């Protein structure tokens, strides 16, 4: 997991991770903040999903991690709680190869309140449960970039 401060197409420090670099380079030439909800392919190894939802309770969301793609989250509107734990601390279930989704169960090691102005990188070892109520249920609009792991 890596969390960085994001302002426009710039960050507050030098970024070394290739997935974050790829996303930031893309954002320098593409304004995704008003794109339609849904999947947006960029290339064979890079796409993004625009998500609009109302945050909800823990029991209405699922734990996940991904083997084939990094997740890079960027929130534009609202506040979202994200549960986090190391994959090694979780009880793994089935893996959906087509959707690149590792099912699992377990407890949060810690929570993150995700707000506009932040980029969050999640790798295959990062178990996460997103879309949770921060203080009270409310709408969020975010983009999740998917960058193929090489």
Instruction: Give Cα separations from 132 to 66, 80, 83, 112 (angstroms).
Output: 19, 6, 8, 10
pLDDT attached to residue 16: 87
Q: What is the structure's pLDDT at 7?
A: 75
Where in the sequence is the domain holding 65, given as residue range(s)?
2-148
* Number of separate domains in the chain: 1
Q: What is the pLDDT of residue 141?
A: 98
pLDDT in tens, the chain (150 residues): 999 888 765 665 678 899 999 999 999 899 999 999 999 999 999 999 999 999 999 999 999 999 999 999 999 999 999 999 999 999 999 999 999 999 999 999 999 999 998 999 999 999 999 999 999 999 999 999 999 999
Are the CB atoms for 139 and 53 separated by under 8 Å? yes
Query: What confidence score (pLDDT) does residue 96 get?
Result: 97
- CATH code assigned at 57: 2.60.120.370
Q: Please give the structure tokens belonging to residue 41.
A: 């392919």
Q: What pLDDT is stored for residue 22 in this prediction?
A: 95
Q: Report helix, strand and coil shares of the chain as percent, to nearest 5.
A: 10, 55, 35
């Amino acid at each position: 997991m890596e969390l960085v401060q994001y302002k426009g197409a710039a960050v507050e420090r030098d970024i070394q991770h290739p997935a974050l670099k790829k996303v930031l380079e893309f954002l320098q030439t593409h304004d995704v903040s008003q794109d339609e909800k849904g999947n947006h392919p960029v290339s064979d190894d890079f796409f993004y999903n625009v998500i609009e939802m109302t945050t909800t309770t823990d029991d209405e969301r699922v734990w996940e991690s991904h083997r084939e793609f990094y997740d890079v989250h960027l929130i534009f509107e609202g506040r979202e709680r994200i549960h986090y734990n190391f994959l090694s601390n979780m009880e793994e279930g089935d893996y959906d190869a087509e959707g690149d989704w590792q099912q699992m169960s377990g407890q949060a090691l810690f929570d993150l309140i995700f707000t506009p102005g932040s980029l969050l990188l999640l790798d295959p070892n990062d178990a996460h449960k997103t879309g949770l109520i921060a203080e009270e249920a409310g709408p969020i609009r975010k983009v999740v970039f998917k960058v193929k792991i090489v």
